[in-house]
Amino acid sequence: MRSSLLIMTMLLGSGLSACTQTSPPPAAADAPAGVSPLANARIQMREVAEDAKRPGATTLKDRDGNTLSLIEPAFVTTADIASVAVGTDGHNGQDTLVLRFTDAAAPRILAATEARVGKRVAFTVGDQVLNVAVIAGPFAQSMQVTGLDGSDEAHRLFTEITGKAP
């Protein structure tokens, strides 16, 4: 897949990446300020089922046209996100989306990601699969979506998710 997903916690210091190299998480003070997502943005993160015929799974296609079966329910949803910002990947300078989770959601997300270490997950907005990656370690405070098709896509997604221009 041409894109990768880097999910990291700024406070716990562990992360997820489909790449072989990861950027160090930015210090909380260095992270960009964010905007609340629209309630109807339909942001979700779900585990990818290894069995394509899993009962109750949602079927979507990734950017390369590969069919994915996504396990329901999502373990991250729009309601879990406190803010969204456009940031910069410290490794390659590309624009990213930085999502910070609510304090109420953090313990549940931590437990969900601890249970999914080593498993593939899909990050979706609406019915669009943005990225698929393997969880390398648990996270709870925030995540960074990398591997987008340039700053235009990062800005378009930010606007789609928040209803505001970056």
Domains of the chain, residue spans:
6-162
Instruction: Assess whether pLDDT exceeds 90 at residue 57.
Output: yes
User: 33-42, 45-54, 100-109, 154-163 — which one is most confidently predicted on average?
Assistant: 100-109
Instruction: Assess whether pLDDT exceeds 80 at residue 34.
Output: yes
Domain 6-162 has CATH 3.30.420.10: no
Instruction: Assess whether pLDDT exceeds 80 at residue 64.
Output: yes
The DSSP code for 48 is: B
HEC readout, 84-133? EEEEECCCCCCEEEEEEECCCCHHHHHHHHHHCCCCEEEEEECCEEEEEE
pLDDT in tens, 87-124: 999 889 999 999 999 999 999 999 999 999 999 999 99
Predicted local confidence at residue 11, as pLDDT = 30
